[in-house]
Structure 1
């Protein structure tokens, strides 16, 4: 009989991928809660946990696994619900050690100090928060808990610091209030207060060639199954595309894998998937660790499917069920694949978006292309949730190709063929 795996809050795009896997494999995926419940403007964590548990317990078949692929609150709901339901999953403490950017840096420094930039924590609500930052300009600031680069700012001078702190004060409650309630479930170490989510972290600027390493930890054994390059726009803050497989030299990839295994095992992150964002600084021949996410990157699922014929959504289920992934690299339809973000860098009113016929014509011209549109006519870009601090995401597309040059040409062609119409807004 197929195993039943519950997935918290899948969006329509990933739900379609899960339904395909359910039809073709020994696993049946079941959506648990709606996407809007877990990715909205507010996060009623306690109510979501109770609703999810009730929904699972009412299922009449076997309950074999529970997973998620979003950041907070989903990433933290998974260990809590797995414990309640007696399912395989990570510990809540290990997950939070990854997600709390300050606590995570403290732990990382104990085992891979050479990969950790200088950092400090400060309270954005105190009278003179800038006095707590002992880094030279430029540096990054961000809440200790946020996601998708929200409320993250590259700070070049004192004026930018004060402006960013003002914005953070106004908006941080959306993240800090539910995260602080979550911290109440843990026995926190000295130096991590119950109101930790209300703090920010400042970090030394790190750079180089950015990538994301994806892996899993199963019964104490850490496996790595892919490295994806992260390509940014010229502003050095906003992602342009994710590209797989990585073009980094094999010896650099091996060093990254060694560092990643060490920190995952040290954190006690087990029986889960993870992704780790890294930089390779070619000038100094140094590897930097940006952050650890205790989940797959759903952004990469189609990339692995196109190149390896084995999506990381399948790996997510494998690990939840206690099985080693039966994956052989390079068995997909393409040698290279990319997820490209279609962005706009100023606020605007959406007048028109590509229709089904536009997308179908594009797919006939470039087979294997997938398109997901995030905006609708009449929408104002500044009203979108979960955007980075410098751009607005209109949608994204997945493209496969036989080489890097063809990949870039196909991305360019796709953007030409997708007729977005944006109008300026007053003020």
Structure 2
């Protein structure tokens, strides 16, 4: 059997190592497309140029192109259907992908089949001086949440408690939204959109009713029309703030709540027409009202969860993405890993801004990874880094390190992280509290 050539947009060394552990990887050759720094460490996305360069690289390849995959949110996720169509590899359609990623279109489609499980919402133009008044006319009152029609991570998302909050959020949105709206509009121009959706382009924003509760992510895929949810990961936030503290797998949600989320997932993804690709859906369970809310749909596996599945189930769920792209039913093991529970922790500081004057050394990181077997630590900043320059941060804190850990139970997991975190030594100057 000849080797399969799998092209990975933004392939970095961490993901190459994960991919090499997949089942069947001895028969795959992995090739990078587009430098990882262009999709990981930047908030500038010249998507037209990136697509052109990717096409040139692929056209110059003198062997079979068997699959094109990626694990990142925008712009990678939206590039994939365009590249796959041009080179005849497997992917869901651009329109079905946009029914997930265009937040207004996605809510409209969700409302058609699971309307009781989504918040009230409306789209608005942040450059419209009457925007707040129009939001009120749609029945949305303080507090509510605003975010761009297309965002990346938690960037440019704001909880609005007052007109002053709205004014501050609009100032930031108007200043920064173009970095995503322009490349996203390029993608929209390649799709067949309903007229009411085309009128709400990437320069618009969403206002939504506040929802909350126990947050989790249902990871799933669709293979030849069959929707398969295969894992639920809890998202735990720091107390009293919106910033994530850690992701935990497997979920501790009640079984009947997890099953209802899987049922909703099958309903909405089948209605969207998504096929032959991975996805994940973020949900809330409001325990007080015993109500489930769908937060958003992502058209990829959660890269943050790769190590969690490897630790608990035995292989990264990149297995899903590669198998689907090759036209194969995913060969994902279950509970074959070295740990019963795993988490990705976010080591954060809650400054307005600061400059890094010290980060843990390679020797210190190696020592901690040895002291806590199975642990992986990746730093997100270096000496001299201005925190405000870090990409993909939320609006309230800065993540300085990601730490993946496994354990036999939740208590040991949290205690081990607390011990490790005490030994991560960062120092700052020019702190703005």
TM-score by length of 1: 0.97
Tell me which moved more, 404-413 or 20-29. Answer: 20-29
Shift of 1:190: 2.4
Pair 141,299 (structure 1): closer, same or farther in 2 beyond 3 Å: same
1:41 and 1:250 map into 2 onto residues whose CA distance is 39
Shift of 1:364: 1.8
User: SS of 1:198's equivalent?
Assistant: coil
Which position in structure 2 is the counterpart of 1:400?
Answer: 406
Tell me the alpha carbon deviations over residues 269-295 of structure 1, each in whole angstroms, 9 at most, x when there is no partner: 111000100011112221100000011
Q: Does 1:109 align with 2:111?
A: yes
Tell me the alpha carbon deviations over residues 141-186 of structure 1, each in whole angstroms, 9 at most, x when there is no partner: 0111111111100011111111111111111110111111211112
Tell me the alpha carbon deviations over residues 210-249 of structure 1, each in whole angstroms, 9 at most, x when there is no partner: 0000011111011111100000112341111000000011
User: SS of 2:415's equivalent?
Assistant: helix
Tell me the alpha carbon deviations over residues 340-377 of structure 1, each in whole angstroms, 9 at most, x when there is no partner: 01111111110111111111111221101000001000
Q: Does 1:367 align with 2:376?
A: no
Tell me the alpha carbon deviations over residues 54-77 of structure 1, each in whole angstroms, 9 at most, x when there is no partner: 212222332111111111111011
* 4+ runs deviating over 6 angstroms: none
Shift of 1:384: 1.1
Tell me which moved more, 349-358 or 184-193. Answer: 184-193
Pair 261,83 (structure 1): closer, same or farther in 2 beyond 3 Å: same
Tell me which moved more, 199-208 or 180-189. Answer: 180-189
Contact kept? 2:11, 2:31, Cα under 8 Å: no
Shift of 1:23: 9.3
Which position in structure 1 is the counterpart of 2:395?
Answer: 389
The aligned length equals 427
1:125 and 1:238 map into 2 onto residues whose CA distance is 27
1:107 and 1:149 map into 2 onto residues whose CA distance is 22
2:367 and 2:127 map into 1 onto residues whose CA distance is 52
Which position in structure 2 is the counterpart of 1:64?
Answer: 66
User: Aligned to 2:53, which of 29, 51, 54?
Assistant: 51
Which position in structure 2 is the counterpart of 1:92?
Answer: 94
User: SS of 2:431's equivalent?
Assistant: coil
Pair 361,92 (structure 1): closer, same or farther in 2 beyond 3 Å: same
User: SS of 2:331's equivalent?
Assistant: coil
Shift of 1:194: 5.1
2:383 and 2:61 map into 1 onto residues whose CA distance is 39
Which position in structure 1 is the counterpart of 2:17?
Answer: 16
User: Aligned to 1:421, which of 412, 424, 427?
Assistant: 427
Pair 98,204 (structure 1): closer, same or farther in 2 beyond 3 Å: same
C-alpha RMSD of matched pairs (Å): 1.6
Q: Does 1:299 align with 2:304?
A: yes
1:327 and 1:384 map into 2 onto residues whose CA distance is 34
Which position in structure 1 is the counterpart of 2:31?
Answer: 30
Pair 261,23 (structure 1): closer, same or farther in 2 beyond 3 Å: closer
Which position in structure 1 is the counterpart of 2:278?
Answer: 273
Q: Does 1:312 align with 2:313?
A: no
User: SS of 1:28's equivalent?
Assistant: strand
